[in-house]
Amino acid sequence: MGRRALGVAFAAFAPLLLVANGSAGSSEPAPPHIAPDHGLTASIERLRGGGIVAAVERLRVAGPAGWTAPQDQVLNFQVLGHSDLGGGGFNADVWLHGTTAFVGVWGRDPVEGIPCPATGVKVVDIADPTTPVLVSVLQNPELTTAEDVVVRTVATPYFTGDLAVVGIQSCGGYRDVFRGLQFYDVTNPAAPVQLGQWEVVRPTMGCHEVDLVQTPAGRVLAACSTPFAEQYDAGEPLAIIDATNPLAPVKVSTFTDTLQIGVGCYSLSFAHSPRFAQNGRRLYVSYWDAGTIELDISNPANPIFVNRTQLLLDEDRDNHSMTEVGGRWMIINPEDFSPNVCGPSSGGWGEAWLYQRRNGQTRFRGTFATPNSQSTRTDGIYTVHNTEVWGTNQAFSSWYTDGIRWWQFSKTGQTREHGYFLPPAVPDPNGYWPTEVLIWGVAISPDLDLVLASDINGGLYILRPIGL
């Protein structure tokens, strides 16, 4: 996206619900017997398909002749290893804990003709990064996705070891399936043990992105964001869960933003991604068009609004996720599919935004973009997705068709690229995604001198940055 300032469109969502459902919504969840094409559920499904699914459909219509995106390019990375994760595709986010990688699984609604494989979170031993070994799977329920996973080493009176939390979502429509958080003991990665689970309010979709932290007081907290909970008028956009006893996790609080605005091509506000900071004293919530919200959760039962960072110079906003760097910097990743969803006239694919934090406030300092993300080309998906920071100023971003981008920023907010990795494009074994580079997730380990990348079609890539 270019940085042209546009007026803020304060778009209430109630008219859409009135058209789709005949009312402004209800506080009662849809009962199990209601079919997936029920008005409210159908309207939410159209929204869920308005981002990456719509972008992929544009590529599918173009066909192989239109798939001219770059691939198989490397600068300042050594490619150490690769795993196809069993060859099932639909790979999602990646997490690295010690010498074990965890890669989630995506899916959609089979009714739409898009598979929901539910093949679980793949657990990969990368002790030898040149020969990664798939050692187990954290199985998710049938007709669900398990896109996001976080692992921490914790010690409580109830559990000591490596604890994984997985976000579970229903695969489209209203389905009588579990959706929420699943907890696993992954102390022995080759023999994981499922512990407890916590379920979101139905019929909301489930936990899209998650995080996990143990506070200095010893309490283990998990966070779950449920997109479109406000539109269902029945859910909890952000939930904080006490998982000190992971066999019996308990909700301790929720948060709903009262600022419901819509801007640009995908005009809507919803909680997309949570991220703990400052040892669990702060929680950031990426709230799509409404900005990145900072909460004081010193008392997890009573989240207190601290600050909101808005991408005021961005014409689409779309706050997907954020990364805090040492309490002094914040990187915001707007996931913007405008060129493929609304056409080139809606602007480009966007950039990563850099803010400085001082005295509880944030100040815009700069952006980083690739040449493709500043364009309106539609032969791939050129938006940033996630960013992780090595040290104080080395950023590694997953950028879909632009692969992994390694960039750095100065104390004044100036940015420059240092390297990139684009794997060879491989076909989707499910026949849905185009044969493109589609890097979803990134994970880093300064201790191991490694960067990991998860590709939707291709699997897991293990990289070593050169010259860091």
CB atoms within 10 A of CB 141: 18
For residue 288, what pLDDT is reported? 92
Q: Quick check: 267 and 9 in contact, CB under 8 A?
A: yes
Does residue 35 surpass a pLDDT of 60? no
Digit-coded pLDDT (tens) for 374-406: 999 988 999 999 999 999 999 999 999 999 999
Q: What whole-number distance in Å separates Cα of residue 124 and Cα of residue 138? A: 11
pLDDT above 70 covers a percentage of the chain that reads: 87
Structure tokens at 375: 């364009």
Region 25-34 average pLDDT = 32
Which of the pair, 147 or 113, is modelled with greater confidence?
Answer: 147
pLDDT of the residue at 141: 96
- What integer pLDDT is reported at residue 356 of this predicted model? 96
pLDDT of residue 92: 98
Strand runs labelled E in 318-466 = 319-325, 329-334, 352-358, 361-368, 386-390, 394-398, 404-409, 415-422, 439-445, 450-455, 459-465
Rounded distance, CA 462 to CA 468, Å?
Answer: 16
Query: 85 or 202: whose pLDDT is higher?
Result: 85
pLDDT digits (tens, 9 = 90+) for 182-231: 999 999 999 999 999 999 988 889 999 999 999 999 999 999 999 988 87
Q: With left for phi above 0 and alpha for psi between -120 and 50, is residue 84 left, alpha or beta?
A: alpha
The torsion defined by the Cα of 23, 28, 29 and 31, in degrees rounded to 10, comes to -90
What domains does the chain contain, in order, with CATH numbers?
Answer: 14-465 (2.130.10.10)
Q: How confident is the model at residue 172 (pLDDT cuts 50, 70, 90)?
A: confident
